[in-house]
Amino acid sequence: MRSTGPVPMSDETHDRDANDTANDTANDTANDGGPTVDDVPVTDQGDTADSEQTTDEQTVEAEVVAEVVETAPEEGTSPDPDEEIEAEEAEEAEAEADAAGEPEPEPEPGVLVTIDGREHRAQPGQLVIDACQAAGSYVPHFCYHPRMTPVGMCRQCLVEVEGPRGTMMVVSCMTPVAEGQVVNTATPTVKRAQEGVLELLLANHPLDCPVCDKGGECPLQDQAFSHGPGESRYLEQKRHYEKPIPISELVYLDRERCILCDRCTRFADEVAGDKLIKFVSRGNDTQVMTFPDEPF
């Protein structure tokens, strides 16, 4: 027989033999204590994509948490405006609830008036002259006395009062105080008015102060110095009456020195209770008279 050479192997047969050889080598290595094919982790391509996506999500969440922590208000910083409004509304509601349960505070008693630039609380119905005296502003007067009915006879207590109808001159012993009233007792207008009244009161008054029993302690003399004009423009003859007229064992009436202030007649009526002296006649002839057959 003719001998032939070795038959060549096909490519498939060659690949199969290579794989068998690799497997045998791997098994031998396993028997020697090395890693086997089964021990090598096999990662699927889809699992790798999911893992990467999870890692990205965790990173984004960490960044968001970090931003929230950074933007959170620290202690001492101003709170949210909406929270401030809610807190204010809650406080107002609590205050209203407390106010509803508590009585309202009573207003300060008295009538608030302003006297010579100073605020003063006067009693309701109090006369302006009394309120001025209580506030420390002196108002000259002759006929007024706090224990007798005011009559406004002498007109020496004129003051300026500012009210809803404007500024006007009033007799302070006849005018009650009013809320918000503004009283001025020493303006140039008031001073001129008081000087004019004193000039009229002294027109018929005798100038005998050096020999008068009341010289040095006479209210008319004191106010002539403090609120009078200083000189008189009347040069006519003064009135003269019979004097003095005894109206009791201890009291003598001098009508020439009388300024018709009505204090003695009111005293007889309101304090003594005996109407034994009164005014008679009218105008320039007015004078104080008594009843001759009835002693004072």
- Domains contained in the chain, CATH given: 111-238 (3.10.20.740), 239-296 (no CATH)
Q: Which residue has the higher pLDDT, 46 or 88?
A: 88
pLDDT band at 163 (very low <50, low <70, confident <90, very high): confident
Q: Which residue has the higher pLDDT, 266 or 230?
A: 266
CA pair distance 50, 189, nearest whole angstrom: 104
Q: Kindly report, residue by residue over 105-160, the tens digit of the pLDDT.
A: 566 678 999 999 999 999 999 999 999 999 999 999 999 999 999 999 999 999 99
Q: At what angle do helices 188-201 and 219-227 cross, to 10 degrees?
A: 140
Q: Kindly report, residue by residue over 210-252, the tens digit of the pLDDT.
A: 888 888 899 999 999 998 888 888 888 888 888 888 887 888 8
Could you tell me the pTM of the whole model?
A: 0.60
Handedness of CA 19, 25, 27, 33 (dihedral sign): negative
Residue 52 has pLDDT above 70, yes or no: no
Q: Six-digit token pair at 280?
A: 């008679």
Q: Six-digit token pair at 72?
A: 């959170």
Tell me the residue ranges of DSSP E strands in the chain: 111-115, 118-122, 158-163, 166-171, 182-184, 245-246, 252-253, 277-280, 287-290
Buried b or exposed e, range 150-182, using 16+ CB within 10 angstroms? bbbbbbbbbbbbeeeeeeeebbbbebebeeebe
